[in-house]
Structure 1
Amino acid sequence: MTANKLSHYLPKLRFPEFREDPIWSAPLLAELYDFKRTNNLPRDELNYIAGTIKNIHYGDVHTKFKPLFRVENEHVPYINPGTRPNEFSDDAFCEEGDIVLADASEDLGDVGKAIEVVSLDGERVVAGTHTILATRRGSVPVVGFGGQVFQSAAVRAGIRNEAQGAKVYGISANRISAVPVPVPPTEAEQQKIADCLGALDDLIAAEGRKLEVLRQYRQGLMQQLFPQPGEAAPRLRFPEFVNEAWDSTTLGTLVSETERPIVMDDETEYALVTVKRRYGGVVARKVLKGKAISVKSQFLIEANDFLISKRQIVHNACGLVPAELAGSIVSNEYSVLTANNGCDIEFFNYFTQQPCVSDSFLQSSVGIVIEKMLFKLDWWLKLAFPFPSFAEQQRIAACLSWLDSRLALQAQKLEGLKRHKQGLLQQLFPSLEEEAR
């Protein structure tokens, strides 16, 4: 897209005080920014303890840093003291308003992911390996606007269009120089957009911290509610159970493998499920007609069955079947377990999320390459662990289930805010789709 075409854009949503202002302009990226030198220091020349210069690594741009980068709020590594200090002249250091882009990614959607340096807090910061450092030529765009406009559909698409590569996509300063950057005509409107989206970013960050606190609390509570290695009882007990012992019990007395084989019809549609790694739960996979399912040995699953993926359990791929997936089918690549008398299956699900049980999955698998290891259910069911009474199992499960519901609500709230942010980005910035129409 040319700058001339984009210059005719107006966003769908404009603040009332600016609706009579002139249309937006679309200068090329190189008209707004100059490019500065970056370094190629590897991770082993960085540390998180001491130093005088901090380094923005492209991996952190992809995974950690917020779009509006405030060094005081981010965990940024130092360059090891004495590491090529003479390489860093004054023009190598970041300034507030600079844009740092990751110049490589295995995902086309992430290539050119950018952050704007909005606060340095007196620190000396440089941009590192696989980054592009762009510094403003003047006062446009205002600090705080750049980090938002580089998330807009127009700029993201422009950068993606300049990416090259097959398995790894890359960009260069030269290639992205001609990407149009939509900018409002006044600094006041730029600042209004920056303040609006910046406030939403702050809210998203705060809700993200709440979610992380809940996750840490859950992890700590799990450690307290289950016996630690070498201990016969947990450190935290509900008052009504403090005098009851946890007895060593083999898993085979608690759960049993249950097979419900089916005969598939070629024209009947069947819902297939899968189990996500890292205790990610049982989720829908796809719906296929019987003739399209290559593995003909299939089994029906019901709500509250406990599924184990025989080839992925070394990555903790197990969990309960939710009610909405009852009636789905799985192949013989899965073990389907149901609770025996005296076992609360929800408690059993939480029990399996302990590190010691995760270790037992690996110990009960055979193979040399971890991705090809095969789980031996009969071995695993012979293992013994401390278990409480059925009543205490239910009490613990109810406690953790309530906490998980709070976690789910907080995660939904956070995702809702992120979707709202994406919607605002689409509304507050001109989009390529409008020009195509």
Structure 2
Amino acid sequence: MSNKEGTSGKHGDGRPLVPRLRFPEFLGAGEWTTPKLEEISVPINERVGARRLTPVSISAGIGFVPQSEKFGRDISGNQYRLYTVVRDGDFVYNKGNSLKFPQGCVYDLQDWSEVAAPNVFICFRLDSGYENGFFRYCFEKNIHGLQLKKHITSGARSNGLLNISKDAFFGIKIPTPKRAEQQKISDFLTYLDDLITLEAQKLCALKTHKKGLMQQLFPAEGETVPRLRFPEFRGAGEWKSTRLDELLFGHPDYGVNAPAVPYSEDLPAYLRITDISDEGYFLCDKKASVAINVTDENYLSEGDIVLARTGASVGKSYKFRKEDGKLVFAGFLIRIKPDPKKIDSTFLFNFLSTQQYWKWVGVTSARSGQPGINGNEYASLPIPVPPHETELSEQQKIANCLTSLDDLIAAQAQKVEALKTHKKGLMQQLFPKLEEV
């Protein structure tokens, strides 16, 4: 075997280096090799000079992004002439750290033709016989980061880049099979990515459909009848505007002010602004507790809705669900308790996602400092409700329709997450574990 292909790899116990999951046609294809990146690629150092190319940056989890899009402007300045010419198929390593890639990220350029990459990035091109797709997934799996950890002797420099040299980067080893197996793995994972993208697009379409439907099921600003109405209510008359506090049990109240502590079943679970998703769900994977004495009144109950009262999340809402368990809500949240004889809680919760509501939030929360809405201001929020004759029945019809859509959206979101988890699990088995080499 030539040095170009790298040496044969071995597990720590001397077993041949092969993945735990292999396609049938490669079961007898022998062990993988472990070439260094410098043995199977060439550095790219061609400068842009006077050419006019799009200056790009790299964002972890996204890939190539025009500087004008990422930073709001082209930041290349006088350094532009020294930027590196990168063409489709070339790889670029950005040694800036991120949560997803603490030791930097690597992406290959696709469907851009040519771009200008900052000269602090490390650019390279694979030799013939090596499939871009296979190495793309190697870098997605962070095979480089696992080896570069030992080369980081201090934090990021003033420019945000890690102190990783070119020699260290090109010295990483990548477990590699023959080209046919590289192609098979690449094609399979690309198919999975395409499937995930398709299902994510379906999820996006469902969310867009619900958003559009809500704008028609509630009267538009300045109107008294929704543009879309269920047949049995089309002659029921005009809707009316009612102050929120007229539809509640009591006045909006504030949560408890106390620091969060690590979650414990012996302590009350704590609901904070950061525990609420953009769709109004409880993010239970980040669950925390609160170490104070609480009463039953501090816990959320069926039908309760909480609203963020300050900061960038002001206006965000959450409707309590029994499956979320017993929750104490934090002081930066305001609770409202809808009176079921006057308003359906789910109907109200859906209204709190409309453009009409968010326009009110923008105006009401305006402050000289941090935006905010207090309990008295939330109490004055105008709520459009159907006429008295059909008040609850029409609300419930709308609520049931939107709940059905929410169920579809939740099921589709679970499908997307299941596919992502499936792909992650497969990647653990389709590539040998580096720590075993």
Q: 1:181 matched to which residue of 2?
A: 174
Q: 1:237 matched to which residue of 2?
A: 229
CA distance in 1, matches of 2:366, 2:414: 39
The 1:298–1:58 alpha-carbon spacing in structure 2 relative to 1, beyond 3 Å, is farther
State whether structure 2 residue 32 is matched by structure 1 residue 32: no
Q: Deviations over 1:273-325 (max 9, x none)?
A: 2342634433445464x7x3499998121133101233357443321011123
2:136 to 127, 136, 147: 147
The 1:20–1:277 alpha-carbon spacing in structure 2 relative to 1, beyond 3 Å, is closer
Q: 2:22 matched to which residue of 1?
A: 14
State whether structure 2 residue 374 is matched by structure 1 residue 376: yes
State whether structure 2 residue 278 is matched by structure 1 residue 270: no
CA distance in 1, matches of 2:314, 2:125: 44
- Could you tell me how far 1:218 is from its partner in structure 2? 1.9
Q: 1:398 matched to which residue of 2?
A: 400
The 1:177–1:143 alpha-carbon spacing in structure 2 relative to 1, beyond 3 Å, is closer
- Could you tell me how far 1:383 is from its partner in structure 2? 3.1
Task: Report the residue type matching 1:328 in the other structure.
Answer: L
Retained in 2: the 8 A contact 1:301–1:326?
Answer: no
- Could you tell me how far 1:126 is from its partner in structure 2? 4.1
Q: 2:3 matched to which residue of 1?
A: none
Alignment map for 1:319-398 (pairs within 5 Å): 319-340=318-339, 341-365=341-365, 367-370=367-370, 373-388=371-386, 389-398=391-400
Q: 2:212 matched to which residue of 1?
A: 220
Higher strand share: 1
Q: 1:247 matched to which residue of 2?
A: 240
CA distance in 2, matches of 1:253, 1:88: 66
- Structure 2 counterpart SS, 1:57: strand
Q: Deviations over 1:354-410 (max 9, x none)?
A: 23322433544475332xx44311122123242222222111111111111111111
Aligned alpha-carbon RMSD (Å):
4.0
State whether structure 2 residue 190 is matched by structure 1 residue 198: yes
- Could you tell me how far 1:417 is from its partner in structure 2? 0.9
Retained in 2: the 8 A contact 1:38–1:131?
Answer: no
Retained in 1: the 8 A contact 2:272–2:330?
Answer: no
CA distance in 2, matches of 1:160, 1:316: 42
CA distance in 2, matches of 1:313, 1:279: 15
Q: 2:427 matched to which residue of 1?
A: 425
Alignment map for 1:241-320 (pairs within 5 Å): 241-243=233-235, 244-256=237-249, 257=251, 269-275=267-273, 276=276, 278-284=278-284, 286=287, 288=289, 292-293=291-292, 299-312=298-311, 314-320=313-319
CA distance in 2, matches of 1:173, 1:237: 65
- Could you tell me how far 1:93 is from its partner in structure 2? 3.5
- Structure 2 counterpart SS, 1:150: helix
Retained in 2: the 8 A contact 1:103–1:111?
Answer: yes
- Could you tell me how far 1:139 is from its partner in structure 2? 1.2
Q: Deviations over 1:184-242 (max 9, x none)?
A: 1x111111111111111111111122122222222222222222222222222222222
The 1:155–1:220 alpha-carbon spacing in structure 2 relative to 1, beyond 3 Å, is same
Calculate the TM-score normalised by the size of structure 2: 0.78
- Structure 1 counterpart SS, 2:132: coil
- Structure 2 counterpart SS, 1:170: coil
CA distance in 2, matches of 1:6, 1:295: 60
State whether structure 2 residue 105 is matched by structure 1 residue 113: yes
The 1:345–1:309 alpha-carbon spacing in structure 2 relative to 1, beyond 3 Å, is same
- Structure 1 counterpart SS, 2:43: strand
Calculate the TM-score normalised by the size of structure 1: 0.78
- Structure 2 counterpart SS, 1:114: strand
- Structure 2 counterpart SS, 1:281: coil
- Could you tell me how far 1:433 is from its partner in structure 2? 4.2
After superposing the two structures, state which structure 1 stretch, 380-389 or 106-115, moved more: 106-115
Give the gaps of 5 or more residues in structure 2. 1-5, 12-16, 259-264
Retained in 2: the 8 A contact 1:299–1:332?
Answer: no
2:117 to 106, 110, 127: 127
- Structure 2 counterpart SS, 1:403: helix
CA distance in 2, matches of 1:209, 1:134: 33
CA distance in 1, matches of 2:46, 2:163: 14
Retained in 1: the 8 A contact 2:8–2:31?
Answer: no
1:158 to 147, 162, 172: 147
CA distance in 1, matches of 2:315, 2:254: 24
Q: 2:87 matched to which residue of 1?
A: 94
1:409 to 408, 411, 421: 411
**Segments of 4+ in structure 1 off by > 6 A?**
38-41, 258-262, 294-298
- Could you tell me how far 1:413 is from its partner in structure 2? 0.8
- Could you tell me how far 1:153 is from its partner in structure 2? 4.9
* Percentage of pairs with the same residue: 28
Q: Deviations over 1:323-361 (max 9, x none)?
A: 123432224443221112220000100101123322433
CA distance in 2, matches of 1:238, 1:378: 34
Retained in 2: the 8 A contact 1:6–1:180?
Answer: no
CA distance in 2, matches of 1:349, 1:40: 54
Retained in 1: the 8 A contact 2:82–2:119?
Answer: no
CA distance in 1, matches of 2:27, 2:313: 58
Retained in 2: the 8 A contact 1:364–1:375?
Answer: yes
CA distance in 2, matches of 1:414, 1:216: 17
Q: Deviations over 1:127-176 (max 9, x none)?
A: 3576432211x214223212112123533422455455259553656141
CA distance in 2, matches of 1:188, 1:335: 60
- Structure 2 counterpart SS, 1:394: helix
Task: Report the residue type matching 1:352 in the other structure.
Answer: L
